[in-house]
Structure 1
Amino acid sequence: MYKLSEKGERIRSMFDEIAPRYDFLNRLLSLGIDRGWRRFAVGQLAVPAGGEVLDIATGTGDVALEIARQTPRDVSIVGADVSREMVEIGRQKVAASPHAGRIIFEISPCEALPFVDNRFNGITIAFGIRNVVDRPQGLAEMHRVLRPGGRVVILEFSTPTFPPFRALYQFYFLKVLPRIAGLFSRQSAYQYLPDSVMEFPSREEFKALMATAGFKNLRHFNLTFGIATVYVGEK
């Protein structure tokens, strides 16, 4: 059994606590744009008929459900997350969806995935890689469980590239967003969000980490002026 670090335990506990309002605040704070980001990210997968996809840091299952919407019915999906409260909400959402038979959930950290080598045809992780405490180990685990020829798709917040927009965005992200979120949920969790984004590696630095883990054919796509970035790599 993998033992989370003290920081990992704090992150897990934080997501357990904010789980009931997580989906609502995602839509509110992003003005609903997050749905389009997830659709684009899932669209970068290339899953064969009868294949299997792993969604890491699956949370309440939004990406797992999007994968089900975009792939044939014989593609199966596994969602993995460290937060039991988030996963429980995800299970309820999946049970009420047309995709109930295709998605299962596991409680697992990214750094110690409980799956055999070369199992999955595709892997996704959305807004979760910056919460992986041992990021090189997490990326190595993704590479291990991905089949040769498979594709990993990572969606994460990033710093906008256009200077005037970057200044406006950072004011909203650092000052306004935590206060709005604090009206509905735990404010410290939404202060952690911008702090963790500002500490995240640059696009080229992160692709270098992916390369070190073994991924090839690396590329990235900036979304909404660079508020979010999709990274794609292959095994």
Structure 2
Amino acid sequence: MSRDQDSTADEADFGYQRVPAGDKARRVGEVFSSVASRYDVMNDVMSAGLHRLWKQQALRLVNARPGHRVLDLAAGTGDLSVGLSRTVGKDGRVVVSDINEAMLNEGRDRLLNEGLADNLDYTLADAEQLPFAPRSFDRITIAFGLRNVTRIPRALAAMREALRPGGKLVVLEFSRLYLQPLQPVYDAYSFQVLPLMGRLVADDADSYRYLAESIRMHPDQETLLTMMEDAGFEDCGFINLSGGIVALHHGHVY
């Protein structure tokens, strides 16, 4: 069901709908503005806490070092930013970035409450048009955000340009389940249980129905790997987590 998202320049997937490309960012923004205040609670509920383990594995793969400058794209409420901030230390810098102001504000408040401020900057930014000079970062992360981007190839190219030689991109994203006997159970959970949870916990079934649809429309593991290679990343690979429900993709710049 995946498509080359640059193949039809004037349209994009919004869940199972085809919408004008210029309209997708607005619609996605409305989804996340709606769920921002309950985002962390819903992540814990709908993944039974697994998202925390997935993010810890992502941080290990990032392998940031003290003094590194890191861009955390689609940072949301800052789960990865917390670990990155502590790793890069006082001589490093983490730019916490999201396209949605409500999510960025939630992340800022959460990080301040964690006592993290000295090595953090906050930027409202579109992953397709990053407002940074070329070769600005040693690492770039994007967790559960790439599928919401209108033109994934364009965003990957922007990330490639923003990385320094020796840099690495790590993408944590829902992907394609490869344990086929579990597919009916996974589908029932995605399309029946998730919207119900969204209604009960966040008073928003539609946003979580979009979540399930956007996962199905996102490029599968091999397709995303090819997109990263086409964008100029080298030594690309991916690691399946939880049977392929989630995948960690990585690519390097030399």
Normalising by structure 2, we get a TM-score of 0.88
Structure 1 residue 168 displacement after superposition: 1.4
Tell me if 1:158 matches 2:183: no
Q: SS in structure 1 opposite 2:165?
A: strand
Q: Measure, in 2, the Cα distance between the counterparts of 1:85 and 1:116.
A: 26
Which residue in 1 is equivalent to 2:53?
36
Tell me if 1:229 matches 2:247: yes
Which residue in 2 is equivalent to 1:127?
144
Contact 2:95/2:122 (<8 A) preserved: yes
Q: Measure, in 2, the Cα distance between the counterparts of 1:177 and 1:73.
A: 40
After superposition, the C-alpha distances for 1:67-100 in whole angstroms (9 at most, x for unaligned) are 2244444321101111111111111111111322
How many pairs are equivalent?
Answer: 232
Which residue in 1 is equivalent to 2:206?
188
Tell me if 1:204 matches 2:204: no
Q: Measure, in 2, the Cα distance between the counterparts of 1:225 and 1:73.
A: 37
Amino acid at match of 1:126: A
Contact 2:66/2:87 (<8 A) preserved: no
Q: Measure, in 2, the Cα distance between the counterparts of 1:65 and 1:56.
A: 13
Contact 1:81/1:108 (<8 A) preserved: yes
Q: SS in structure 2 opposite 1:79?
A: strand
Amino acid at match of 2:149: V
Q: Measure, in 2, the Cα distance between the counterparts of 1:45 and 1:59.
A: 18
Q: Measure, in 2, the Cα distance between the counterparts of 1:17 and 1:115.
A: 28
Structure 1, unmatched stretches of 5+, are none
Contact 1:55/1:124 (<8 A) preserved: yes
Q: 2:129 aligns with which of 105, 109, 112?
A: 112
Structure 2, unmatched stretches of 5+, are 1-20
Q: Bigger shift: 67-76 or 89-98? A: 67-76
| Aligned pairs (5 A) from 1:84-99 | 84-99=101-116
Q: Bigger shift: 213-222 or 97-106? A: 97-106
Contact 2:236/2:251 (<8 A) preserved: yes
Q: Measure, in 2, the Cα distance between the counterparts of 1:182 and 1:211.
A: 39
Which residue in 2 is equivalent to 1:213?
231
Structure 1 residue 184 displacement after superposition: 2.3
**Sequence identity, in percent?**
34
Amino acid at match of 1:45: V
Q: Measure, in 2, the Cα distance between the counterparts of 1:184 and 1:48.
A: 38
Q: Measure, in 1, the Cα distance between the counterparts of 2:54 and 2:128.
A: 25
Q: 2:70 aligns with which of 46, 50, 53?
A: 53
Q: Measure, in 2, the Cα distance between the counterparts of 1:62 and 1:49.
A: 19
Structure 1 residue 38 displacement after superposition: 0.5
Q: SS in structure 2 opposite 1:5?
A: helix
Tell me if 1:146 matches 2:169: no
Contact 2:175/2:244 (<8 A) preserved: yes
The CA RMSD measured in Å over matched residues stands at: 1.3
Which residue in 2 is equivalent to 1:77?
94
Contact 1:64/1:79 (<8 A) preserved: yes
Normalising by structure 1, we get a TM-score of 0.95
Contact 2:71/2:141 (<8 A) preserved: yes
Which residue in 2 is equivalent to 1:12?
29
Gap change, CA 1:48 and 1:70, over 3 Å in 2: closer
Q: Bigger shift: 213-222 or 11-20? A: 11-20
Q: Measure, in 1, the Cα distance between the counterparts of 2:105 and 2:82.
A: 14
